[in-house]
Structure 1
């Protein structure tokens, strides 16, 4: 049998809320008195846990000048005390300092509503419950414009704006105070969550943060949907920054950042990122430290990413495993993929990592048009390649590239092609110089697969398309690579073993298809393909012999 409560319609509910929020003079309609009336009898309020708390009712003024920190905090506290509901930021510009979000609270920012971070650094405080470590795999900042600690069922939704006024936190010169009076790790993130569960942030514009825009630490069951982040006013304006998080889903987001667009540090597991666009000076997907596993990244567009769109740094004792990148379009990038070590001592492990459906044009980097300061670029960023750079004791295993088409900028010289002593622990962002391959440099990899890979250059290039150095158990099928008749070779094998090449094509005239170096080279097979544009198929050096290679087909 239906009761009267069953017929309490959404329209009537909204009418009740509207009367309460505009202050009609009916005493029973104000939030404070409604709470008092129902405190001892929760069943008397059919909206308990579902009411709207308009911050105007708590003294906020949306004039862009008056501090609304206390009003917003009071509305959140009341909402939390009443078992949850929605805190409404209506049209207007509301200036705030640090505010704590609490369990079961939805913060709704209306289309013309804006939370404006104060330009006065004194309005911010650290969340002491969030520990600092100085280690980016744990945490190096605990100040948020909006933050939550050990809370659950929090939602922040737009389509309004949160503006951090980040330029006010940038020092005019090194060592000088910022206009806001605080710098470094004392600056606030837009959103900061620590050990929280069931977080949703959707359809919000996060603008000009003073630090990282969204930083989520040791939290689980997180959904980020339809977020637009734009922050290029501080050198380390990150977009999303996850530290040891699980069950995270990022969808339909657009990020234009200055630093890492989507960083995953510590032990991040069960993560999906899809249908997003990213642009940055440095990395888009950056991995470092801990155990990163069971992660898929798909259907994303990366554009104007000058640094390294996909950067995986295996720190001491770290492990990266079961990670898939698929259907990625990279337009005007450098890099574009780098897997390497953060330390030669006690290196980590990276295995079962696949790159599928990658289409990219790699260019010479230029300053980001909308950044507020210039950028300098390393030589290796200017002449970049895919780098899968391991070292003895560092297990790189089962790395695959399938359906990959990349056009590189070119410009490599014979001197750069002749490099053999590539650092085992190559600096981040190609800081230690130019790799001796224009397409793929791979070292100390076991189980490397290339299938339907096409490598081309936009300008003359004297480096090989691919260099394998101490690579074992590799299969190359359907490789098409551009060569140069003035270059040493199209491919170079250094102490490589158990390598099978099938259906290989040389796209332009070259002197030599493959140069084989080192007495350890063995069991390299070339089966079929079209090598007719190479003057000679093989050359040998540094102790390699003809017994190491067999050509058939």
Structure 2
């Protein structure tokens, strides 16, 4: 991957902050930290005065400062001192929506507590916190709004929204209990997020850090506990890609995904590198890379990831939902692409109580006519519960071509316990191993509608009674090399489908197999011959 050059903006930004003359305390503009006085106007006066003086810091001292929507301006940093809390009002009338849009489930959203729109050189820093009071806000909201939760939640405010800004620094603060998404960075550039703590849960849709069509981004050493996706990349507009992004040193816990890309996916995701992260106690996927609304997802590298008690460690999806989220400026697109992605050095303990029953490790699927291309999984180890039956091994997985891209969309059962791949081209699976807590009669690997599959240096755990260790269905070209199988099965490789051909095996350790290869009657003679 091309080496990213992201931080040329930082020296100028830091120098600008150093030279700024105005450090203004919000209490000098009438703000009271008693937790009950509404301080929206007082805080905004302090920000506006700081901006008019050329920039500087707006100081929030110790106390609980209740507020509705406040707007950051050019060259202003909001500095929250120790024990300072910017406390979100629980009255929806106190919030503004300065950039309305529709999110992936079709809900109109965009209200927020702290907002910046078309601003330059802004910051949020300090040892204090921003608390949206999400659970209390919801409790008050539902007293008068009797619609279903899936229809009304969009009125509740995000905690932090950064819209079309250039030069954004967020450092040291704690973000808590948003009414909806916790932090959303839309079509912005030169973003530096470091040492941020997020504890945001209790209501639906509490995403942690959301990068939406933003570029030249660094996220480092953050600790996120979120009710929804912890770290999520979106492109709700086709106008600007998520591009040139580096992430490292994150701890991620979520009721949804740890690392997710593409729930809304109109513009590309490219040149993104994520490394050295720990994902734990996550309910709906460890790593999920998706493009379903026309985006090109390419040149992404994720490495050195550990996972503990994660439901379904990985999902990769190219689909054709083709939604539009900003209907006044975008139109429906054609199916996108998913190519040149590398996932390496991953150790995962999959949760036994998962949304797939029995659990599976890795799901990979395009749609007919649109292949996930050149995906490499290397140095992967996953601990699984096992327990799959012979019937489970023949489960038919729905195509769900235009559906919301989620693990449960393809469940509740997957016919392989290790890797299930469909509509793939150039898939490379290198140095992959699994452990099983109980016997599993499903194959370790199933590939359906594949081209140029490579399997190298696998270690397959002890199982007995399975029909096959690997099943290939309509696979045109596969190399299976140096696979070591500890258990016994009817066949090492079972080949099915009229399109199967050019399957090659070399240097595999499979002493417990009754047969090296078994193919059904519809397999063409040349495919069978290639296996001998």
On whether the aligned pair clears a TM of 0.5, the verdict is yes
**Higher Cα Rg: structure 1 or 2?**
1
Provide the rounded CA distance (Å) in 1 between the counterparts of 2:251 and 2:479.
36
- Report the CA distance between 1:446 and its aligned residue: 1.0
Provide the rounded CA distance (Å) in 1 between the counterparts of 2:357 and 2:141.
26
1:408 — aligned with what? 384
The reply on whether 1:213 has 2:175 as its aligned counterpart is no
Mapped contact 1:200–1:222 kept (Cα < 8 A): yes
The reply on whether 1:518 has 2:489 as its aligned counterpart is no
The reply on whether 1:190 has 2:159 as its aligned counterpart is yes
Provide the rounded CA distance (Å) in 1 between the counterparts of 2:512 and 2:461.
10
Provide the rounded CA distance (Å) in 1 between the counterparts of 2:143 and 2:291.
32
2:59 — aligned with what? 88
Change (3 A) 1:297 1:140: farther
2:43 — aligned with what? 72
- SS at 1:170 equivalent: helix
2:482 — aligned with what? 503
| Further displaced range: 418-427 or 158-167 | 418-427
2:314 — aligned with what? 337
Structure 1: state its 5+ residue gaps: 1-46, 366-376
1:269 — aligned with what? 243
Which one has more relative contact order, counting CA pairs under 8 Å at least 6 apart? 2
* Alignment equivalent of 1:282, drawn from 252, 256, 280: 256
Provide the rounded CA distance (Å) in 2 between the counterparts of 1:148 and 1:362.
39
Mapped contact 1:307–1:334 kept (Cα < 8 A): yes
| Further displaced range: 497-506 or 192-201 | 497-506
- Report the CA distance between 1:535 and its aligned residue: 2.9
1:539 — aligned with what? 518
- 1:153-552 to structure 2, matched below 5 A, reads 153-171=121-139, 177=145, 183-266=152-235, 267-288=241-262, 289=265, 290-343=267-320, 346-365=334-353, 378=355, 380=356, 383-420=359-396, 422-423=398-399, 425=401, 428-433=406-411, 434-482=413-461, 484-544=463-523, 547-548=526-527, 550=530
- SS at 2:468 equivalent: coil
- SS at 1:312 equivalent: strand
Provide the rounded CA distance (Å) in 1 between the counterparts of 2:115 and 2:125.
15
Change (3 A) 1:240 1:444: same
User: In the TM superposition, what whole-angstrom CA distance separates every residue of 1:188-220 from its partner, at most 9, and x where no partner exists?
Assistant: 111111111100101011111111110111111
User: In the TM superposition, what whole-angstrom CA distance separates every residue of 1:390-419 from its partner, at most 9, and x where no partner exists?
Assistant: 222213110101111111222222211012
Provide the rounded CA distance (Å) in 1 between the counterparts of 2:307 and 2:430.
19
- SS at 1:495 equivalent: strand
Mapped contact 2:319–2:366 kept (Cα < 8 A): no
2:25 — aligned with what? 54
- Report the CA distance between 1:172 and its aligned residue: 8.5
1:21 — aligned with what? none
Provide the rounded CA distance (Å) in 1 between the counterparts of 2:37 and 2:429.
60
Change (3 A) 1:223 1:151: same
- Report the CA distance between 1:176 and its aligned residue: 5.8
| Further displaced range: 399-408 or 502-511 | 502-511
Provide the rounded CA distance (Å) in 2 between the counterparts of 1:184 and 1:354.
36
Change (3 A) 1:138 1:391: closer
- Report the CA distance between 1:122 and its aligned residue: 2.3
Mapped contact 2:367–2:399 kept (Cα < 8 A): no
- SS at 2:207 equivalent: coil
Provide the rounded CA distance (Å) in 1 between the counterparts of 2:357 and 2:249.
27
Change (3 A) 1:542 1:218: farther
Mapped contact 1:48–1:83 kept (Cα < 8 A): no
Structure 2: state its 5+ residue gaps: 1-17, 236-240, 323-333
May I ask how many residue pairs the two structures share in their alignment? Answer: 489
Provide the rounded CA distance (Å) in 2 between the counterparts of 1:243 and 1:67.
31
